[in-house]
Amino acid sequence: MSDKLIDDEEIRLALLRGYNILDTAPEEGFDDIARLAGAICETPIALVSLVEKERQWFKAVQGLDVGETPIQMSICAHAIQSGDFLEVHDTTKDPRTAENPLVVGDESIRFYAGALLKNEEGVAVGTLCVLDRKPRTLNDMQRKTLKILANQVMRHLELREALGAAEMLRREVDHRVKNSLQSLEALIRIQTRSVKTDEAREALEAVQGRLAMVSNLHEALYLSDAGAMVNLSTFLNRVVQTASGQMPEGIIVRHEVAPCKLESRAASSVGMVVNEAIANASKYAFEGRDKGAFDIVGKVDGDDYVLTCADDGGATDTQTGGVQTIVGTGLGMRIMQAAAQQLGGELKAEVGDKGHVVTLRWPLN
């Protein structure tokens, strides 16, 4: 048959490819519609068939063991040429299908009915079709239902397209925000070199660290395939890599964080706690030492997730600032407490066997 199925074939093919649906994995929504179509029309075979230039590809397949066929075997291509709906009561007696390999071959298709998958402008990309291995005729209710279900297939396609466009926009926003934050962070770093007081330098360094954490969050979102969800393990790896640069020479930062999917706001709260804990330890936990370790451990505990940040700097008295800074009312502690509240969780700061421990627990639901 001719490659030119309709007058505006290139427009039709561009529309089909724009849905980014070809060769994607099966999806329950499309499979359910195909199953329902077969049940209502009482046929053993039902397909969501998308007609490309050289082939027809099945997004949903019920009753056949193939995922696509060459265009020469496509009865759906005839349906696109025919108009709104095509029903072939006996494929062996219709000149369009009598020599089709699906008809004369092992599949022995004897009946076909297909409702077009059309956009609002009436351009068709395929069909929702039902097939049988014996001649038959659909009743009016079955024909009407098949057309309604074909419209639902198109709604699924259009929803997928809209979600894809929204995801591209989200990624672009995250990318731009990340770049802007990195630029601002660089400016603060330059400004830090020119300040003359330790207090001002520490304040600027704290702001720089927090900007770096948020920048890491947007980078994780940009690289994520889960929309506004972030893999906590991957995200904290970036946070630790950035924040651990504050540690004195010889101090290592280790982290072992179990995977966990979090919304971006929740991930930001966790990242803020880790960033502040590292900043606090870098100032107070290892004074006068050239070796030491800071450990970050995250794990699922029943319905909760528990994250601990612990140094091995020993039990520091309050005069040097260690315990006092962790459990006191400093800005860092207030930030960590606010982050815990945003998670609906609980933050504890205490002296452990080796040093100071900050524990963050929050419900996974």
Indicate the domain borders of the chain.
Answer: 9-161, 226-365
The rounded distance, in Å, linking the Cα atoms of 67 and 234 is: 36
**Highest mean pLDDT pick, 170-174, 314-318, 344-348, 349-353:** 344-348
The rounded distance, in Å, linking the Cα atoms of 241 and 244 is: 6
Angle 350-353-359 from CA coordinates, rounded to 5°: 35
> Which superfamily is assigned to 9-161 in CATH?
GAF domain (3.30.450.40)
Enumerate the β-bridge partners of residue 356: 351
* CB-based contact 229:221 (threshold 8 Å): no
Angle 150-73-27 from CA coordinates, rounded to 5°: 40
* CB-based contact 339:309 (threshold 8 Å): no
The pLDDT value given to residue 232: 85
pLDDT, tens digit (0-9, with 9 covering 90-100), for 65-120 = 889 999 999 999 999 888 789 999 999 999 999 999 999 888 789 999 999 999 98
* Residue type (1 letter), 188: I
How many beta carbons lie within 10 A of that of residue 22, not counting itself?
A: 14
- If DSSP codes are grouped into helix, strand and coil, which group holds residue 289? coil
The rounded distance, in Å, linking the Cα atoms of 358 and 278 is: 10
Predicted TM-score (pTM) of the model is 0.52
Helix (H), strand (E) at residue 130: strand 124-132
Enumerate the β-bridge partners of residue 361: 306, 346
Using CB atoms within 10 Å of the CB of residue 244, give its burial: 0 to 12 exposed, 13 to 18 middle, 19+ buried. middle
pLDDT, tens digit (0-9, with 9 covering 90-100), for 251-300 = 899 999 998 888 877 888 888 888 888 888 888 888 778 888 999 999 99
How many beta carbons lie within 10 A of that of residue 192, not counting itself?
A: 16
The token pair at 52 is 């490309």
Quickly state the pLDDT bin for 221 (edges 50, 70, 90). low
- If DSSP codes are grouped into helix, strand and coil, which group holds residue 46? strand
Distance of CA 102 to the CA centre of its chain: 39
Quickly state the pLDDT bin for 171 (edges 50, 70, 90). low
The pLDDT value given to residue 143: 95
pLDDT, tens digit (0-9, with 9 covering 90-100), for 229-248 = 778 888 888 888 877 777 88
CATH class of 226-365: alpha beta
The pLDDT value given to residue 95: 93
